[in-house]
Amino acid sequence: MDQSPAALAVSLENFERDVVERSRTTPVLIDFWATWCAPCKTLGPVLDKVVAENAGRVVLAKIDIDRTPELAEAFGIQSVPTVILMKAGRPVDGFMGALPELQVKKFLEKHLGPAPTDVVADAKKLDEAGRRDDATKLLKEHLRVQHGDAKARFLLAKLLIDAGKLEEARLVEAKFSDEERASDEGKALTQRFEFASKKSALDGLAAKLELAPDDLALQLEFGKSLVAAGEHERGLNVLWRVAERDLRFENGAPRKALVEVFEVLGFEHPLVVEFQRRLSILLCP
């Protein structure tokens, strides 16, 4: 059985440091195995998977009993596979044999508790189901405990902007570091704030366009305001017509406007995929 790249390579020399001492801060799951052991080959990948799912909460160490018989003897290993859980510098629990994945998970849960849920994914599902208030509530409760979860904070700010709660969203945005603001997510959030600020001007822009229907700069502002108001397809079509008419207008302003919308909506959005395709064709010489 190959050594898992995520598992600690344990020897007599590093056992005290990498297993005993490490277990004082993070539980260490020790897999005693042998190359000739068929059940070991079944259990090994299961342990790799379960430990990977609990990354940061438990560490996996694998000990080949033929290479380090002294450690096997010290733990009184009678057969393989045998798994021992170390916490606070001492063994606290274990099992023998190739248990199925569900049982290995239950074994770890006794000591680690259930694996934490993906709050960001759960909040996105709530928002997609039309339960935006529940999504923002979930994120706020999570952030009261996990203050440094930037992904959750970005999503909370985004949902507040989409709900028209700009002042509250600004309070959330104020807690980002300069590095977070400079990230791709930070730049997209800035664009979303700018688009949201255009939403209130939508009616005024429509009235101006009636008086100056050929004003391309006005059309670009109107298109972006439509997107900000949630009329994504209509807004993109307005921007697209300007791009078709004069792609080089004001140093490429139509292309820049489309890209801004792509960043706000996300590059996986179906409309973005379609208009990206159109833009790439238009840009081809």
Catalytic positions: 37, 40
Nearest Cα neighbor of 178 from 164, 190, 192, 166 is 190
Burial letters 190-205, b for 16+ CB under 10 A, else e: ebbbebbebbeebeeb
Q: Give the integer Cα–Cα distance in Å for 93 and 95.
A: 7
Alpha helix positions (H), the chain = 15, 38-53, 69-74, 101-112, 119-128, 132-145, 150-162, 166-173, 178-182, 184-199, 202-211, 216-228, 232-245, 253-265, 270-283
Q: Give the integer Cα–Cα distance in Å for 65 and 77.
A: 9
